[in-house]
Structure 1
């Protein structure tokens, strides 16, 4: 099983560096020593893999994949054959799909809403998509004005930068408050109130 692309910019070295920086399952950083000890090779060898100076054997490749909780396909191509249909249909990145799987496996304290329930609530809420669209636009406005791409010559003393930043912050704050209300909470004057339906007489 020879790797198709070698060298520092090859796919395997690139994927290995990314996963060492951030473990796909835990989000933690992995040192060369930790990986070397886990799969039974020298630390210097891991460094050579990372820099694309040598290739792992098929057996070592499998061990690396198992350590990071990914498939060998993902190590070699950046795309898991298991996730490929999802990626093609939804356009999600491999990392996004992995994080969704992590959310499913994440346990919550008794009586608390699970991370997956929260994600389901957001992803099935049309307001969430409108929010993402609007925030992207507003963030681009802020960047444009900060980069001097907006003509302010006819705006007098009006604080354009301050307005766009305030508008973005206010919009995000209002969205969060609306989401809390949808989940039975309203924040008024620093007091958290639980909205409960009163029993009918």
Structure 2
């Protein structure tokens, strides 16, 4: 009997919560598989959980998450309609950037989430998820300042996926001018979704 999306995702989430493939597994309070709709058209992929995410086991629950919620609301979406995850599922110490080894150990989980959910649009938030996702689908990454808000059309076994890199909401908290860039990119996402 073929398993449904929910069953497949629950199994995968359980695997992520028990994962010890890299040293982060021994340091975390909670792994953060992701949250949202398993039928989402849009998947957001951040970099790694922060302090609050590690505490609660949920993605984007700190200040950057509040900004993400605002941006979603501005284009008429809620968290329940999208899927939000990170490329690395456990918090790196002191919120440092994820290492190549951590990304390599963890990225098969993200690949599987994409295969199960089959989103129409993937939004990498920040340069680590952008670099990984663009390379995965055969594109050469450029600096995020140059390609945020641009679309890349990837072809998969289950159809077309549009990848649209954006700045990470956390970056907009430290550099307020980026907030306006994020807003504009979210408006582009809104137009994109109207045509899918």
Please say whether Structure 1 and Structure 2 have the same fold, judged by a TM-score greater than 0.5. Answer: no
More strand as a share of residues: 2
More helix by share: 1
Give me the TM-score of the superposition, normalised by structure 2: 0.28
Which structure's relative contact order is higher, taking Cα pairs within 8 Å and 6+ residues apart?
A: 2
Which has more radius of gyration?
1
